[in-house]
Amino acid sequence: MMSALTGRSLLAGKCRVAAAAAARCRMRPASGGSTWDREPGKNKFRETVLLPRTELPMRLSGRQLPDKELQIQRECGFSELYTWQRNRKGKEFCIHDGPPYANGDPHVGHALNKILKDITNRFQMMRGKIVHFIPGWDCHGLPIELRALAECGEQAKTLSPIEIRQKAREFAERTIERQRAAFIRWGVMADWDNCYYTFDKQYEAKQLEIFHQMFDKGYIYQDYKPVFWSPSTRTALAEAELEYNQQHVSRSVYVKFPLLKTPSKITSENASSVNALIWTTQPWTIPANQAVCYMPNAKYSLVKCLNTEELYLLGAECIDSTAAILETQFEILQTVNGSDLEGGVCTHPTIPERQSRLLPANHVTMQKGTGLVHTAPAHGMEDYSVASQHELSVDCLVDEDGIFTEAAGSDLQNKFVLNEGNETVIQMLQASKMLLKEEDVQHSYPYDWRTKKPVIIRSSKQWFIDTGKIKDQAQELLKKVEMIPRSAMNSMLAMLDRRTYWCISRQRCWGVPIPVFYHKETAEPLINKYTRDHLIKLMKEHGTDCWWTLPLDHLLTKEILIKSGGSDVSNYVKGEDILDIWFDSGISWANVLSDIDNIADVYLEGKDQLGGWFQSSLLTSVAVKKQVPFRKLIVHGFTLNETGEKMSKSLGNVVDPDIVINGGQDLNQDPPYGADILRWWVAESNVFTEVLIGQNILQAAKEDVFKLRNTLRFLLGNLYNFNPEIDGVANEQMLLVDQYMLHLLQDYGIKVTEAYKEYDFGKVIRLMLAFINRELSNFYFSIIKDRLYCEDEKHPKRRSCQTVLDEALDVITRSVAPILPHLAEEIFQHQSNTKEPLRVFHTGWIKTSSVWKKPGIVEAIEGACAIRDSFLSSIPGKNTSEYDVTIIIEPSLLLELMEQLQKDPVSSTSELNELMMASHTTLLTSVPRDLPADTDLIEGKFIINLEGGDIIEESRYVVIVQQAAKEKCPRCKKYTTDMALNPCPRCLEVIAGKWTT
């Protein structure tokens, strides 16, 4: 205790001497004629304080922000960056760009996808990888054709196929340019001069090569079977071209199929009057019925309706639910196994002369309906499978427009199946007394994704890929692929499992023609190696337009015909179908990845591509190359508005990325946020679910970026007079709190790097915000401001924390660069400690050092912070510098740690005092005896954990908080001077020499 008081007395003596010197200085003029005086409100010391200096604006408002981004893109070589990095040496990293569809303006879904890819690419490039990223577009297909024709108005009806193709190409080209300009504006780094397009001649020729390879291997065939058919566009559709309307309403019916031949196991006395009972939501398909299917391993019951006395056959599990719907009660007469129904035959409910067999089928369930399924092979995939096994007719009574044909009978002919057709069939069932119940049912139903109108299932002659021959190997190879999120794996495997074939023919003209000729009389297709080689050669030279422009005898020459065993070209016609656009895009790996073994490191697309591009790429690659074209699949969600609703122009809730960046007509309502805010929104979102966007979300993103910008601005401002090569302090010579900050900075760098590797960009942002808000702004900046502003410019303590600030500026700027490239480059442009501004993307990733790792220091600083928290909690909202703090710790490990931070018993300049932010800190081993009786003793404890738990010690401490005993220094604002208005000893020493005495 005595030594502590003595120390304090000696310090007070030194302060009195310094104060006297200050008083003498006050009476003498300084150089330049200015004087120090006692005039109230004047502080003659302000010019001696080293406040931050930087030309980086605090914020950019209005049009300044997007204009500044464009300036940065020009000055920092955004357009040359891809080529620059391709000329380096290093390991290749490839994201294969799934082609966006060239049928509309860029939207936030594009932004989500392209920016995710760009963040990944920039991160990999900064880590030394050579990025391979060639953007592409899907240019064919009906949506583009329809948009192009819509622009032509009535003239569209008179256009020839080649004129339609020309209009579609022009529309696609215009769309591509708009989308390309938007992607570049978002800061996406890519090989923009060498994009791939599915309408390029070389691409189309390669596509035909892949088609022929799959045909030669027996994967491609022609057949007559049911497919999804869009009456609104008169073409077959793939599953990936469907949207499911959850609010669709169908007219459902319960229908009797009288048993003509009763199964032998049905023993009722009235077996001759039994009716098989079915339920369907598609009454229009009943005229095409060929069978009634049952589940072989289920139970079926013969029941009597207590209202009508009629006998019905239905699934035992469905008795109660069916009786409730029919508003009756059933008496169970007999229950048999499903397999016991074999041999039964029904009479068709509207066509008495037709018979429908009872047949087993694995697709029957008891979840809905009656457990017996009406089977129309022309209008159902499972129905067709039953027909194939039992040689049933697959005749289709519906044409390309969804209209009943003459074969359906005069009552149905010329009626659209989904309205008039349904109504007429229901009337026919009522007339034959076979209808038990009709009601509307709301359920999920497939719609054409282009026209937003319902589709039907309809048999037609099409070209198919036999995915059944490919999918087993595809599934096994897919299981070895890393997928993010992992849950998407099961979805994709299940989709592949359900896919027995893939219809690849479309009945349009804007696309790659299926290269086949048909014999006029036999309809047999002519396709072989001779036609293949000739047509591929023509299409490499002329493009696929030649299929429509060249005469038939140029496409199918006499020489080829002779080699093919034919005679007269006039006996043939060329096919009119084009290839499914999913086949177009699905073979992109053969065009874009040929120089890297046809395998990309990453495919990154929306979850709709689990059944689309991911699948078509996988199936074609496995069929041709026996390999998967990607090492990793990353799947993101869809974009929705702020309330979780799907965005729609008709609803007026669409968020336009161009307006997000540049602002709308009313800048108060739609302010310009710039591209970096759009990129921040992408990065911070949980992209593995649905992603929300709106003004509130964008405004919150803007505020976060503003916090980051001003943190970086603070760092820049305090480094204006610091050159790390000359002024940097070696790690071991730094103050302990500065070493502690480097320790935290290294940990931050490691965690951020891992988050980028895991494609968890939201975690990157969470780590970044936590670090700049908690570790920097709330902690480190608050304790070092006195050191930064008030110490001598070249004082080792000041240079020590500037070394940390310089490293922090570099690490944080690099860590945010993949997400905010414009801000990162702007920060690098304003660095004053380099001869010329560097470009952040030319200088690599985060550079930390293992030397920074100082776990031993952590306990010392965090112990002090625990004591600091006790101090701060006792003076809520008060200025810490108005107090002196006394810390009492009995001899212990904690005391030894605190003594590393403060050598003297009392100090106003120690590291411990800096951490307390008090005017003076006193470190004692026992409570002073002369304390006033009413003094508050704040007790606390801190658990020290060293060597991974090998050393654990709980230490107790006491904190005493008292009003500062000294006066307020006019320069540093701490209560460390003996005389008011006079600088404290530390400040006197700093300003010595700044004025001439």
pLDDT band, very low/low/confident/very high, at 283 (cuts 50, 70, 90): very high
pLDDT of residue 300: 96
Mean pLDDT of 760-776: 97
Task: Supply φ then ψ for residue 752, to 5 degrees.
Answer: -65, -40
Name the least confident of 818-822, 854-858, 919-923.
854-858
Q: How far apart are the first and last CA of the chain?
A: 41
DSSP-derived pairing of the beta strands 525-526 and 630-636: unpaired
* 33 vs 379: CA distance, rounded Å: 101
**pLDDT classification of 9: cutoffs 50, 70, 90:** very low
Name residue 178's amino acid: R
Taking 3-state DSSP, the helix, strand and coil percentages for the chain, each rounded to the nearest 5, stand at 45, 20, 35
Residues near 29 by Cβ (< 8 Å), separated by ≥ 6?
35
Residues 781-802, mean pLDDT to the nearest whole number: 95
Share of the chain above pLDDT 70, in %: 93
At 287-305, the pLDDT tens digits run 999 999 999 999 999 999 9
Q: In what order do the strands lie in the sheet with 235-237?
A: 235-237, 220-230, 456-465, 502-503
Q: Report the pLDDT averaged over residues 565-592.
A: 93
What distance in Å separates the CA atoms of residue 413 and residue 459, rounded to the nearest whole number?
18
Mean predicted confidence (pLDDT) in 262-273: 76
Please enumerate in sequence order all residues whose Cβ is within 8 A of that of 232, keeping only pairs 6 or more positions apart, or say none: 448, 451, 453
Beta-bridge partners for 130: 92
Task: Give the amino acid at 62.
Answer: G
Q: What is the spatial distance between Cα 515 and Cα 547, in angstroms, rounded to a whole number?
A: 9
Instruction: For the chain, give the percent of residues with pLDDT over 90.
Output: 80
**Rounded mean pLDDT of 682-708?**
95
* Closest to 721 measured CA to CA, from 650, 666, 797, 799: 799
What's the CA gap between 180 and 321, in Å, rounded? 56
Assess contact for 860 and 829: CB atoms under 8 A: no
Alpha helices by DSSP H, listed for 556-608, are 558-563, 581-586, 588-592
Q: Which tokens in the block code for residue 85?
A: 């990095």
Residue 379 corresponds to which tokens in the numbers above? 């209008």
What's the average model confidence in pLDDT over 174-196? 97
Q: Which is more confidently placed, 320 or 951?
A: 320
Burial 497-507 (b: 16+ CB within 10 A, else e): eebebbbbbbb
Asked whether the beta carbons of 676 and 820 are under 8 A apart, the reply is yes
pLDDT of residue 269: 66
Q: What is the DSSP string of 251-281?
A: EEEEEEEEEEE--TT---TTGGGEEEEEEES
Question: What average pLDDT does range 106-116 have in this prediction?
Answer: 96
What's the whole-number mean pLDDT along residues 425-440? 95
**What pLDDT, on a 0 to 100 scale, did the predictor assign at position 949?**
62
Q: Give which of 924, 900, 926, 894 is closest to 912, Cα–Cα.
A: 900
Among 131, 432, 475, CA closest to 253 = 432
pLDDT of residue 500: 83
The confidence band for 266, taking pLDDT boundaries of 50, 70 and 90, is: confident
What confidence category does residue 36 fall into, taking pLDDT thresholds of 50, 70 and 90? very low
Nearest to 867 by CA among 959, 961, 936: 959
pLDDT at residue 239, rounded to an integer: 77
Burial of 304 (0-12, 13-18, 19+ CB in 10 A): middle
Distance CA 776, CA 782 (A): 8
> Maximum distance among all alpha carbons in the chain?
130
Enter the tokens of residue 833: 């400690």
User: Taking 90 as the threshold, does the pLDDT of residue 957 lie above it?
Assistant: yes
- Note the pLDDT of residue 993: 61
928-942 pLDDT, tens digit each: 988 888 888 999 999
The sign of the dihedral angle between the CA atoms of 188, 192, 194, 195 is positive
Q: How far is Cα 335 from Cα 136, in angstroms, rounded to an integer?
A: 61
The answer on pLDDT for 622 being more than 80 is yes
Phi first, then psi: what are they for 686, rounded to 5°? -80, 90
pLDDT mean over 37-46: 58
Mean pLDDT of 899-914: 95
pLDDT of res. 32: 32
Please, which pLDDT band fits residue 268 given cuts at 50, 70 and 90?
Answer: low
What DSSP string runs through 863-930? HHHHHHHHHHHHSTTS-GGGEEEEEE--SSHHHHHHHHH-SSSEESSSHHHHHHTSSEEEEESS--TT
User: How far apart (Å, rounded) are the C-alpha atoms in residues 624 and 621?
Assistant: 5
Nearest CA to 662 out of 182, 256, 269 is that of: 182
Angle at 118 between CA 115 and CA 120, to 5 degrees: 115
The SS3 assignment for 833 reads coil
β partners of residue 633: 483, 603
- Say if strands 600-606 and 630-636 run parallel, antiparallel, or are unpaired: parallel
Torsion of CA 375, 379, 385, 391, to 10 degrees: 70
* pLDDT, position 495: 92
Sign of the dihedral through C-alpha 506, 510, 513, 517 = positive
Burial class (CB in 10 A: 0-12, 13-18, 19+), 639: buried
Comparing CA positions, the residue from 364, 428, 355, 429 lying closest to residue 393 is: 355
Q: Which two tokens stand for residue 106?
A: 């860029």
Range from 17-26, 578-587, 880-889, 923-932 carrying the lowest mean pLDDT: 17-26
Q: Name the residue with higher pLDDT: 17 or 673.
A: 673
Residue 255 pairs with which residues in a beta bridge? 278, 435
**Contact between residue 957 and residue 759 where contact means Cβ atoms under 8 Å apart:** no
pLDDT of residue 972: 94
558/569 Cα distance (integer angstroms): 7
| Residues 5/922, Cβ–Cβ less than 8 Å | no
Q: Where are the beta strands (DSSP E) in 628-725?
A: 630-636, 639-641, 691-693
Strands 355-360 and 345-347: antiparallel
Measured between alpha carbons, how far is 689 from 411 in angstroms, rounded to an integer?
Answer: 50
d(CA 314, CA 285): 20
DSSP letter assigned to residue 448:
E
SS3 176: helix
Pairing mode, strands 355-360 and 502-503: unpaired
User: What number is the average pLDDT over the span 250-273?
Assistant: 86
Backbone angles phi, psi at 345, to 5 degrees: -135, 135
Confidence at residue 981, expressed as pLDDT on a 0 to 100 scale: 87
Helix (H, G, I), strand (E, B) or coil at 408: helix
**What pLDDT, on the 0 to 100 scale, is given for residue 732?**
92
Residue 17 pLDDT class (50, 70, 90 cuts)? very low
* 311-323 core/surface letters (b: 16 or more CB in 10 A; e: else): bbbbbbbbbeebb
CA-closest candidate to residue 452, choices 250, 285, 175, 233: 233
Mean pLDDT over each residue of the chain, to the nearest integer: 90
> Is the preceding peptide bond at 485 cis, omega within 30 degrees of 0?
yes
